[in-house]
């Protein structure tokens, strides 16, 4: 395996990002033990910045620290999945209502452009997943609440631990696109109640697919 090149920013932050991406790519599997000695040797670092990085990932919920056993990639239970979707539904549906009331026409057009991009990549699951996340994060940015943004960012990281992402289920991409269309229609109509309800339905359906 080739050596990993680290840039000058805080070492533990970059180590955390390297490990975070390995977790998302399933190179470090949910429930798997993290071999600190092996990773420290691979990165060419001491275990001190690695342990600081693991603390960051533990705070995000991606890593679970077990007494006298070390660090493990967090494994999501069905309850974990339902809890995460419940909170995301509350936070993002509230954001949708705010955007329906307050966003400018130009701001709504940025969301429409992402929706159009989403429709264009319906046959590419990985790209659809990425654009879908950009749509949700853009909606949050327009709602302009940094505390909500931070909570959603952390919850979305944890959601990526789910082995059976809902978007990978048969027919779910098409359903998700239609749900995004309903959200956009409510936003364009400046109907905050409908925007809130359609976003809640979007997460409810996503959970049903993910938990199936």
pLDDT band at 68 (very low <50, low <70, confident <90, very high): confident
Please state, for a pLDDT cut of 70, what percent of the chain lies above it. Answer: 92
Read off the tokens for 17.
């990002």
Read off the tokens for 183.
């959200």
Local structure of residue 66 (DSSP, 8 states) = E
Q: Please state, rounded to an integer, the average pLDDT across all residues of the chain.
A: 91
**Could you give the domains of the chain?**
11-73 (1.10.10.10), 78-211 (1.20.120.530)
pLDDT at position 10 over 90:
no
Which pLDDT does position 121 carry in this prediction?
Answer: 94
CA neighbor of 152 nearest in space, from 143, 142, 140, 164:
140
**Phi, psi values for residue 138, rounded to 5°:** -65, -40
Which pLDDT does position 8 carry in this prediction?
Answer: 47
- pLDDT tens-place string over residues 53-64: 999 999 999 999
**Phi, psi values for residue 203, rounded to 5°:** -75, -35
Which pLDDT does position 211 carry in this prediction?
Answer: 76
In whole angstroms, what separates CA 34 from the centre of its chain?
Answer: 22
For 128-137, what is the mean pLDDT?
94
Which pLDDT does position 1 carry in this prediction?
Answer: 53
pLDDT at position 6 over 60:
no
CB 49 within 8 A of CB 15: yes
Which pLDDT does position 166 carry in this prediction?
Answer: 61
In whole angstroms, what separates CA 150 from the centre of its chain?
Answer: 11
Which pLDDT does position 33 carry in this prediction?
Answer: 95
Whole-number Å distance between alpha carbons of 19 and 197: 36
pLDDT at position 74 over 60:
yes
Read off the tokens for 103.
């966003």
Of 74-78, 84-88, 107-111, 197-201, which gets the smallest average pLDDT? 74-78
Q: Where are the alpha helices (DSSP H) in 70-211?
A: 78-102, 105-120, 125-143, 146-159, 172-188, 192-211
Whole-number Å distance between alpha carbons of 108 and 138: 10
Whole-number Å distance between alpha carbons of 31 and 105: 46
pLDDT at position 162 over 90:
no
């Amino acid at each position: 395996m080739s050596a990993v090149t680290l840039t000058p920013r805080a070492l533990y932050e970059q180590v955390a990002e390297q490990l975070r991406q390995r977790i998302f790519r399933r190179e470090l599997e949910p429930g798997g033990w993290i071999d600190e000695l092996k990773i420290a040797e691979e990165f060419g670092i001491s275990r001190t910045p690695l342990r600081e990085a693991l603390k960051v990932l533990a705070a995000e919920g991606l890593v679970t620290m077990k007494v006298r056993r070390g660090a493990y990639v967090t494994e999501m239970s069905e309850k974990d999945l339902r809890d995460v979707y419940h909170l995301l539904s509350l936070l993002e549906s509230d954001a949708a209502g705010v955007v329906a009331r307050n966003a400018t026409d130009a701001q709504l057009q940025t969301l429409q452009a992402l929706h159009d991009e989403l429709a264009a990549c319906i046959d590419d699951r990985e790209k659809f997943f990425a654009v879908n996340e950009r749509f949700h994060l853009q909606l949050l940015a327009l709602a302009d609440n940094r505390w909500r943004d931070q909570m959603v960012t952390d919850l979305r990281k944890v959601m990526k631990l789910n082995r059976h992402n809902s978007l990978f289920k048969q027919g779910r991409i098409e359903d998700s696109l239609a749900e995004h269309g309903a959200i956009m229609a409510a936003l364009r109509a400046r109907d905050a109640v409908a925007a809130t309800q359609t976003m809640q339905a979007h997460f409810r359906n996503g959970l049903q697919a993910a938990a199936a």
